[in-house]
Structures are given as C-alpha cells and as structure tokens.
Amino acid sequence: MKRQYTEKIHAERLIRILERKNTCDWCPAKAHSVVDAYSCNPLAIWVTDTDPCTVCLDFVDAFYHCPCTSLGEEEAIKRTWIALEEKGYI
C-alpha cells in the first residue's frame, strides 16, 4: 500500500540528502535513487491525493520543476536549510 507523502517525511529525507555529496542529484520523494529532475515520478511511490512535488515545491517556495532546477543549486539549498530551521525540523 502506498503511503501519503507529508511535509514531515519530506523534511526527514531532506536532512539525509543534505548530508550527501551532489545534493541536487537526489529527490526526497525518491530518496534511494539519483534522479533526473525532468523525469522524476514520485507519484509511482506515494498516494495520488498528495503530490510529493507540491509538498517539495511549497517547502521552499519554488515553482514548476524541482527546486534545484527552478531555483539553482545554491538558492535551493539555502532555502531548504532556512525552511528546515523555520519549521523546527533542525
């Protein structure tokens, strides 16, 4: 059974990803594989009423594509750390 992708799950996975090298090569909703931001399909893993991409984009106030693609790596990482701190995950 598929699970619902939540902000808490997203934050926990982001923290693990930020410990990796090449941070922007990873998708939190597909945390066990390197992804191409344009072909990533986390809906295959999570329930369809909670779009993991929406959770991700809302988390850092990004738009359209993965934050690293739409904001650039440096800005995406900066916004991620700030969001994690403001939301009390770190």
Residue 31: which of 39, 42, 21 has the closest Cα? 42
pTM: 0.84
Structure tokens at 11: 């934050």
Neighbouring-strand partners of residue 34: 26
Query: 28: which residues sit within 8 A by CB, 6+ positions away?
Result: 9, 10, 13, 14, 17, 52, 56
pLDDT digits 0-9 by tens, 14-55: 999 998 888 888 888 886 655 555 566 777 778 767 788 889
Cα 51 to chain centroid distance, Å, stands at 11
| pLDDT tens readout for residues 78-87 | 999 999 999 9
